[in-house]
Structure 1
Amino acid sequence: MTWSFPVGRILGTEVRIHATFFLLLLWIAVAGFLQGGSQDAIVSVLFILALFACVVLHEFGHALMARRYGIATPDITLLPIGGMARLERMPEKPAQEIAVALAGPAVNVAIWALIVLVVGATTDLEALAEIEDPTSGFWARLAAVNLFLVLFNLIPAFPMDGGRVFRALLSIWLGRVKATRVAAHAGQAVAFVFGFLALTTGNPLLLLIAVFVFVAAAAESSDVALRDMARELPARAAMITAYEALDPADGVDGMSSSLIRTTQHEFPVLGPDGRLRGFVPRQAIFAAVAGQRPGLTAAEAMVPDIPSVPLHAPLTKAIDALARPEVPAVAVTDAAGLFLGYITRENIGELMVLRGHRA
């Protein structure tokens, strides 16, 4: 995700913080300072940090449960509206999806129980109503907000946790594509309710949540439909075979010439043995020219370790590989591992549009 940067790696998952999260901390600090001075500002910021630590643990609940089913979680990003765990893929078996979806709220229940049993904090509606008051009990507010996170995340608004449970249950009878469409429409309806409440109460965070739910629901529905259509297609159906390749020793002038001559957005770098070494995205060429690095070679500018799929592999394998944002393309190879062509996000989208019009 753009505008986010890594702060560490835990259990194989990179934890990232979006830059806008610091705007939230600044806003909380200023509001606390104006209300009660520096002490209230410090307590307010500490509470938000503790709250978002619970959010990160919630996301690791999803990640660790997904790992049980062989699904990795490359990163977790902290946003002002919460956390987002980026799973390589969602489990398609209803029972597995329900387990992954409920693992996050289960962590919040465990945190609430720990605070109540160990710290001795009480949980009541007053603590939740005074969540923004830094003079109110710190632990009571943190316990209450964890219960609130459980209830909020279980709202059947796709793609929230409750929405994923709703989709998984529907898919037992309707199939995954139709169930996702129904759950996405339900999520967008809830987003409209969130948006109305945000506008009437003047709550900017609730408005951001409404926009996120609306957009994410539509994106998830499109992704599931795309995967369903791609399931019956081989990788060769979306393979680009007309391309201009670069030699590892090509310099900036050679890369720039290839960029001008073609409409390619990425250029495969092939060795003398015909095997792929990497891809040079056009952004790397622009950066080399802007940075006045005439000695840069294609081997130095390329993105290495490009994933590959066999010619007759399901197209969904390429889609899974392209889920990693740092991957510009997926190589298609023959039985001997020689490079035959490549697949990008753009030409998969074009193929799906064409097949959708034919259907």
Structure 2
Amino acid sequence: MFKNSVTIMKISGIPIRLHISFLLILPFFAVTIGNNIGAIAEVAGVATASLSLNPYWLGLILAILLFVSVALHELAHSFVARSRGIEIRDITLMLLGGVAQMEDEFEEPQDEVWMAFAGPLFSLVLGFLLLFLVGFLAGFLIADLELIMYYLGFMNIFLALFNLLPAFPSDGGRILRSLIARKTSYLRATKIATDIGKFFAFLFGFYGLMAGRILIILIAFFIYIGASQEYQLNVIKDTFLDFTVADLMSSKVSTVPAEMKVQELMEKMLQERHFGYPVVDEGGSLMGCVTLEDIEAVPKEEQQEREVEEIMTCEVIVVEPEEALYEAFKKLSQADIGRLMVMDEGELKGILTRSDIMKAYRLKTLKEKKIS
């Protein structure tokens, strides 16, 4: 989902990724914290003169550890999701926090409640534990470590409480949505939670504008966008529930042989106005898929000599005719491709493209008009 990110490690098989926005915000956080080290030390009861590290080095350390806390927060979500049968693709640390990408969604509202609450609960426990240790070990810690533990303890508690606000799609908003879903449809519950989330976004945005706090304005912006995207995703899911792949796939499949020249394929594309074809062998078995993008990667002077087999994509993503349309849509979105091969018992039955999937909107609208 998040492009421009790189995997830095894996924890229990879950990739931890850094988005480019994280690298942009980290220096800002480091400098901001460094500029306020004196105030932080005063609140923590640490004498500034006793600190051995430069304020900006301390700022960088605290900024990094703050994002580590966010990663642990997301891991807590992930482990609870796993315990309820939901796999986690990755955790991405970005501009204003972290996001755990799940392979699927919860079927039961109470499962989502536990998953959403796990992150804030972990942050609360970690925060109070750090503050307890600071008090218990007072006089035995060096000043720098005491300040670091105090700051992280306070920030983890703040992280927990902030995430529990019912500002969907935050953790509190998801808990609210799950509780509402017990009394109404999941889509209706999402709409209510989304409206509440947008209300909080406007409040944060107004406060940030009046107080001149750019970070608060950014938070408001991301809450608003996140809530809107989450609702649209649920609208799509609700629309697709009535359909299977077989309902919308193109069953008349035009294939190309593996030995076809790239130049011939280009002419075929121009004539038939298709931009992707299944590639088959002499027996008609699927070998791969070739698209316009594959052709564009071939120098023009080589297109008359090279064959389709040399440039095709061998690892095609397939679906079955009776598979739910929403599952197919997720496969398209996650792989960021334009078409899926429809296979049944090893035989190519059709192709499902993005435009085929979008027909579901029109079909459902017609169906609802007919019923009404």
TM-score scaled to structure 1, two decimals?
A: 0.84
- Structure 2 residues without counterparts, runs of 5 or longer: 38-52, 138-143
**How far apart are 1:152 and its partner, in Å?**
0.9
| Superimposed CA distance per residue, residues 252-287 of structure 1 (whole angstroms, 9 cap, x where no aligned partner) | 434544443444454333333434333344434334
| Aligned-partner residue type, residue 24 of structure 2 | L
| Equivalent-residue separation in structure 1 for 2:180 and 2:257 (angstroms) | 51
| Equivalent-residue separation in structure 2 for 1:220 and 1:137 (angstroms) | 38
Choose the corresponding residue for 1:101, options 103, 108, 116: 116
**How far apart are 1:179 and its partner, in Å?**
0.8
* Counterpart contact for 2:34–2:60, Cα < 8 Å: no
| Equivalent-residue separation in structure 2 for 1:291 and 1:80 (angstroms) | 45
Could you tell me which residue of structure 1 aligns to residue 346 of structure 2?
337
| Equivalent-residue separation in structure 1 for 2:77 and 2:320 (angstroms) | 31
**How far apart are 1:33 and its partner, in Å?**
7.0
Q: 1:184 to 1:280 in 2, by over 3 A?
A: farther
| Equivalent-residue separation in structure 2 for 1:290 and 1:173 (angstroms) | 61
Work out whether 1:61 is the aligned partner of 2:62: no
* Counterpart contact for 1:251–1:297, Cα < 8 Å: yes
Partner-residue secondary structure (3-state), 1:174: coil
Could you tell me which residue of structure 1 aligns to residue 10 of structure 2?
9
Q: 1:291 to 1:161 in 2, by over 3 A?
A: farther
Instruction: Work out the number of aligned pairs and report it.
Output: 346
| Equivalent-residue separation in structure 2 for 1:138 and 1:290 (angstroms) | 60
| Aligned-partner residue type, residue 15 of structure 1 | I
* Counterpart contact for 2:134–2:150, Cα < 8 Å: no
Could you tell me which residue of structure 2 aligns to residue 125 of structure 1?
none
| Equivalent-residue separation in structure 2 for 1:94 and 1:143 (angstroms) | 31
Please list, as runs of the form range in 1=range in 2, the aligned pairs for 1:188-267 lying within 5 A after superposition: 188-242=198-252, 244-250=254-260, 252-267=262-277
| Aligned-partner residue type, residue 123 of structure 2 | N
Q: 1:243 to 1:192 in 2, by over 3 A?
A: farther
**How far apart are 1:139 and its partner, in Å?**
1.4
| Superimposed CA distance per residue, residues 170-220 of structure 1 (whole angstroms, 9 cap, x where no aligned partner) | 111111111111111111111111221222222222222222221221222
| Equivalent-residue separation in structure 2 for 1:135 and 1:114 (angstroms) | 15
Could you tell me which residue of structure 1 aligns to residue 22 of structure 2?
21
| Aligned-partner residue type, residue 56 of structure 2 | A
Partner-residue secondary structure (3-state), 2:86: coil
* Counterpart contact for 1:252–1:289, Cα < 8 Å: no
**How far apart are 1:119 and its partner, in Å?**
4.5
| Equivalent-residue separation in structure 1 for 2:186 and 2:301 (angstroms) | 48
Choose the corresponding residue for 1:116, options 131, 143, 146: 131
**How far apart are 1:157 and its partner, in Å?**
1.4
Partner-residue secondary structure (3-state), 1:186: helix
Choose the corresponding residue for 1:308, options 315, 318, 323: 318
Could you tell me which residue of structure 2 aligns to residue 79 of structure 1?
94
Percent pairwise identity: 29
| Aligned-partner residue type, residue 51 of structure 1 | L
Q: 1:169 to 1:31 in 2, by over 3 A?
A: closer
* Counterpart contact for 1:12–1:74, Cα < 8 Å: no
Partner-residue secondary structure (3-state), 1:343: strand
| Aligned-partner residue type, residue 39 of structure 1 | N
Q: Higher mean Cα deviation, 229-238 or 50-59? A: 229-238
| Equivalent-residue separation in structure 2 for 1:186 and 1:49 (angstroms) | 32
Partner-residue secondary structure (3-state), 1:324: helix
Choose the corresponding residue for 2:330, options 301, 320, 335: 320
Could you tell me which residue of structure 1 aligns to residue 160 of structure 2?
150
Q: Higher mean Cα deviation, 142-151 or 223-232? A: 223-232
Computed over aligned residues only, the root mean square deviation of the Cα atoms, in angstroms, reads 3.1
| Superimposed CA distance per residue, residues 67-123 of structure 1 (whole angstroms, 9 cap, x where no aligned partner) | 12222111211111110111112213111111111121122123213323445489x
Partner-residue secondary structure (3-state), 1:100: helix
* Counterpart contact for 2:243–2:360, Cα < 8 Å: no
| Equivalent-residue separation in structure 2 for 1:192 and 1:322 (angstroms) | 33
Partner-residue secondary structure (3-state), 1:95: helix
Q: 1:247 to 1:17 in 2, by over 3 A?
A: farther
Choose the corresponding residue for 2:105, options 90, 93, 97: 90
TM-score scaled to structure 2, two decimals?
A: 0.81
Partner-residue secondary structure (3-state), 2:168: coil
Larger Rg: 2
| Equivalent-residue separation in structure 2 for 1:314 and 1:215 (angstroms) | 27
| Equivalent-residue separation in structure 1 for 2:193 and 2:166 (angstroms) | 8
* Counterpart contact for 1:158–1:164, Cα < 8 Å: yes
* Counterpart contact for 2:34–2:59, Cα < 8 Å: no
Q: 1:118 to 1:347 in 2, by over 3 A?
A: farther
| Equivalent-residue separation in structure 2 for 1:106 and 1:295 (angstroms) | 62
